[in-house]
Amino acid sequence: TIREEPHFALECRQLLKPGRTRVARLSLYGRICKGGSVSADPASSIQRDLLHAGVVKVSADGRLILRNRIYAEIFSAYWVNQNLPFSWRTLAVAVVAIVALFLVPVWYTQYLPEPYVRALKSEQTEFPDALKAWERLSFLPGFGDTADRLFAEYLTGASRRARRLAEVERYGDYLARLPGQADLQNELNAELWDRKAGMALQRGDRDAGILFALKALQHPTLRRKQQLGELLGEDFASLVGTIRPGSPVGALGLDTAAARVTVLDRDHRLSIWEFGAGGARRIGAFELLAEEVMPLQARAIYSGRNKGRRLSLIVRTDHARPRDVMIELRAPTGRTARVSLGAGSAGEYHFDSRRDKALRTLLDENPNGTWVIYFMDMAQGVRGSIQGWSLAIDGRLAKPAGSPTLPAAIPEPRVVQQARASLDSGGALALSWPENPAVRGDILVWDTVTQELLSRIPRPAGFRMARFVLDGAGILVTGVRGIELWNTRKNERSLNIPVDPSFEPVLSDNGRYLIVDSVPDGGQGGALTVWDLSERREHGHLVTGDTAPLAAVDSSGRYLAVSDGDRLVRVWSLPGGELAGEFEHASMPAAIHFDASGRWMVTSDADHTFRLWDMQAVHDLPVLVRSSSAPWAVRFGKGQFVFGSLDRGFEVIGLAGGSRQGPVLRHGSPAPRSVSVPSAGTLLFADGVVI
């Protein structure tokens, strides 16, 4: 329409006339088109241009308006926008305005308070700095509640880490200024006395523990009342002393004649204590270490007949102490045998399967394949090397394969702290061995009093555990497929018992009788076999069919108790294997204990119900029944036994009359892992604490 109509075309040229005022002219006209109020100004050249073009006029009230509706339709606000150039500046201003509108709140809520929040949340912040951060954060509008909450959390943490009353009181004063924190101030003061009471008990100072526990009652709770009641109980007069070694207790040894207790903790540290009128006094301590052996390894390939009759091994070494060198030979079938160079001087050593029984077993199967030999230096102090070696079967030499260049040094054993340990019942002897089952290293036998190494015992294939038996006279070494009995002093193996690995071997309380699972000759089921370790012979056996989940034998070897996973405990006489009785429980039995004579039996079940049975009674009812919400710990002594749990405390009961001997013993400690009654009136139990 504008191009076809000359009048409109002229108006268009007037509005779009080029020049510096074009944008301002179109912008003013667009404002008028949108209904904006523009007062007439005769001095404005831009208004004069619009009036000269004839598209606007001055109204009666002195404002610029469109001349008519035709102009409003043709030269509309849309037309104006189409003819205005694109303005980057306008866009930039809009973007800056939007970004500022978004970032200012983020900066105010996130970045401005962030250093103060970080300071109040850090445990490393000093109190003056935390106080300053709280004051500055509170000053920011809208952050008052946040500042109070963070400052209260900081004061609470600092108070719980404090050890002095003055510090706790200072933190409490500032807590009192915060809304709703008055009760927390009192609780933190009481917690300080709780910590002091705990530290006093850790030192074995029960008197100080009572005083601190009384101060904690200024803010009473049920737990604090119960703890104080236990500390003030009637058993307090019977307490001889308390040992807290600082790490969970792994084993205890007690020498009643010397009034000495040996404590082995979970970090394989030994501490030796004497008890006297003044309580417990430590007289010695050392750490049990282990040795890891790194063998020198070589290989040879044998190719010959499928059956060998004679195996010959020759080893040449310059080791000045050849008795330290142990040789392990592994056949292609996986069987192994160990031989020692023995006493003598450096030189050449000959081994023959006709003389060495250990080597003879390697020829029981096909000898063809790769043989592996390990040279191990079992003691530190003297070094040596292997100059050469050879292996022959029936006179036919095996060919070296990938062997190291000889001569080669034999690595010395390495002392490591990653060890496992065991202690004998009297605490005079200890065992240690490497914690990592994949590394080689002997079981070391220690004298805990002199801290001397007495002997070394080789660990068998599939080694699991080593422990003392027969009052320290023997060492029981458990492997996957067999159990070995070693003489502690002579360092000789006296018994080798094959076992089924699906059953965990069980010892009697005195360590004389051992229950293992074996397969009877010609049978398909399993059998429990009881061995007399003192006599080194079988004492009796019982065919069970399936593996028994729970079994026990008394210290005299009279009875074997077995639970088949149901609610019954069946007791069989030994060595004949006759059924002596069946004892029913409300739920599955969880533990079985006998006294030394075999007359008394204690059982506990999955519901934590404790029962004492008289094996000589004509009825099948228990003599004593107790229930608990926690597992029971039980131990027999001479003519008495001790039993207890976390919620019931510990009682010493005389077996003759069934009466309690002395008060219920409590100490506010967790449930014990073990209980010992070495003599009348003495009780020890352990779980990070020995009492």
pLDDT at residue 620 greater than cutoff 80: no
Nearest to 543 by CA among 557, 556, 558, 562: 562
Structure tokens at 673: 């892992």
Angle, CA of 656, 660 and 664, to the nearest 5°: 155
pLDDT at residue 673 greater than cutoff 50: no
Name 293's Cβ contacts closer than 8 Å, sequence gap at least 6.
376, 377, 378, 411, 413, 414, 439, 440, 441, 442
Let me know: does 319 contact 345? Beta carbons within 8 Å.
Answer: no
Distance from C-alpha of 266 to C-alpha of 620, rounded to nearest angstrom: 41
Which whole number is the average pLDDT over 92-104? Answer: 57
Please report which confidence band the pLDDT of residue 344 belongs to, taking 50, 70 and 90 as the band edges. Answer: low
Name 5's Cβ contacts closer than 8 Å, sequence gap at least 6.
none
Average pLDDT taken over every residue of the chain: 81
Which whole number is the average pLDDT over 285-310? Answer: 90
Which whole number is the average pLDDT over 22-39? Answer: 80
Distance from C-alpha of 600 to C-alpha of 270, rounded to nearest angstrom: 34
Which whole number is the average pLDDT over 209-223? Answer: 83
What are the start-end ranges of the H helices in 162-259? 165-177, 182-202, 206-216, 222-231
Distance from C-alpha of 252 to C-alpha of 422, rounded to nearest angstrom: 9
Structure tokens at 189: 């003061």
pLDDT at residue 86 greater than cutoff 50: yes
Structure tokens at 688: 């990070």
φ and ψ of 166, to 5 deg: -60, -40
More confident residue, 227 or 578: 578
Distance from C-alpha of 652 to C-alpha of 664, rounded to nearest angstrom: 8
Angle, CA of 616, 681 and 591, to the nearest 5°: 45
pLDDT at residue 301 greater than cutoff 90: yes
Distance from C-alpha of 481 to C-alpha of 361, rounded to nearest angstrom: 16
Strands 336-340 and 325-330: antiparallel
Mean pLDDT is lowest, of 61-65, 88-92, 427-431, 605-609, for 88-92
pLDDT in tens, 390-439: 999 999 999 988 767 888 999 988 888 888 898 888 888 999 999 888 88
Let me know: does 154 contact 125? Beta carbons within 8 Å.
Answer: yes
pLDDT in tens, 166-195: 888 888 888 888 887 777 878 888 888 888
Let me know: does 191 contact 157? Beta carbons within 8 Å.
Answer: no
Distance from C-alpha of 577 to C-alpha of 558, rounded to nearest angstrom: 10
φ and ψ of 334, to 5 deg: 100, -10
Q: State the pLDDT at residue 98.
A: 58
Q: State the pLDDT at residue 102.
A: 53
Q: State the pLDDT at residue 346.
A: 66
Task: Answer yes or no: pTM beyond 0.85.
Answer: no
Cis peptide preceding 407, ω within 30 of 0: yes
Structural domains present in the chain: 13-85 (no CATH), 294-412 (2.60.120.260)
Q: State the pLDDT at residue 110.
A: 53
Distance from C-alpha of 610 to C-alpha of 384, rounded to nearest angstrom: 61
DSSP, res 306: S
Could you give the dihedral angle defined by the CA atoms of residues 485, 490, 492 and 498, in that order, rounded to the nearest 10 degrees? 0
Q: State the pLDDT at residue 432.
A: 92
Distance from C-alpha of 224 to C-alpha of 235, rounded to nearest angstrom: 18
Structure tokens at 425: 């019942």
More confident residue, 565 or 234: 565
In terms of phi and psi (left: phi > 0; alpha: psi -120 to 50; beta: otherwise), the region of 536 is left
Which whole number is the average pLDDT over 564-581? Answer: 86
Please report which confidence band the pLDDT of residue 445 belongs to, taking 50, 70 and 90 as the band edges. Answer: very high
Please report which confidence band the pLDDT of residue 686 belongs to, taking 50, 70 and 90 as the band edges. Answer: very low
Q: State the pLDDT at residue 559.
A: 92
Q: State the pLDDT at residue 385.
A: 92
User: Which range in 105-119, 479-493, 664-678 is most confidently predicted, on average pLDDT?
Assistant: 479-493
pLDDT at residue 618 greater than cutoff 70: no
Distance from C-alpha of 489 to C-alpha of 444, rounded to nearest angstrom: 12
Structure tokens at 267: 């970090």
Q: State the pLDDT at residue 342.
A: 75
Which whole number is the average pLDDT over 524-553? Answer: 82
Let me know: does 411 contact 456? Beta carbons within 8 Å.
Answer: no
Q: How far is CA 244 from CA 236, 273, 490, 534, 666, in A?
A: 18, 11, 35, 36, 16
In terms of phi and psi (left: phi > 0; alpha: psi -120 to 50; beta: otherwise), the region of 395 is left
Q: State the pLDDT at residue 687.
A: 46
More confident residue, 84 or 148: 148
Mean pLDDT is lowest, of 491-500, 656-665, 678-687, for 678-687
Nearest to 643 by CA among 690, 602, 585, 591: 602
Structure tokens at 395: 């006179």
Nearest to 532 by CA among 503, 554, 547: 554
Mean pLDDT is lowest, of 27-31, 205-209, 488-492, for 205-209
Q: State the pLDDT at residue 202.
A: 67
Nearest to 600 by CA among 644, 643, 548, 632: 643
pLDDT at residue 343 greater than cutoff 90: no
Mean pLDDT is lowest, of 16-30, 209-223, 309-323, for 16-30
Which whole number is the average pLDDT over 217-239? Answer: 75
pLDDT > 90: percent of the chain: 13
SS3 content of the chain, % helix, strand, coil (to 5): 25, 35, 40
Mean pLDDT is lowest, of 21-35, 83-97, 574-588, for 83-97
- Partners of 56 in beta bridges: 66
Please report which confidence band the pLDDT of residue 108 belongs to, taking 50, 70 and 90 as the band edges. Answer: very low
Let me know: does 356 contact 277? Beta carbons within 8 Å.
Answer: no
pLDDT in tens, 255-294: 877 778 888 888 888 888 887 766 778 888 888 888 888 8
pLDDT at residue 691 greater than cutoff 50: yes
Distance of alpha carbon 570 from its chain centroid, rounded?
37
Q: State the pLDDT at residue 390.
A: 93
Q: In the 3-class helix/strand/coil scheme, how is 7-31 assigned residue by residue?
A: HHHHHHHHHCCCCCCHHHHHHHHHH
Which whole number is the average pLDDT over 3-22? Answer: 75
Cis peptide preceding 575, ω within 30 of 0: yes
Q: How far is CA 679 from CA 343, 600, 639, in A?
A: 46, 18, 10
Distance from C-alpha of 418 to C-alpha of 288, rounded to nearest angstrom: 10
Distance from C-alpha of 314 to C-alpha of 391, rounded to nearest angstrom: 7
Q: State the pLDDT at residue 678.
A: 46
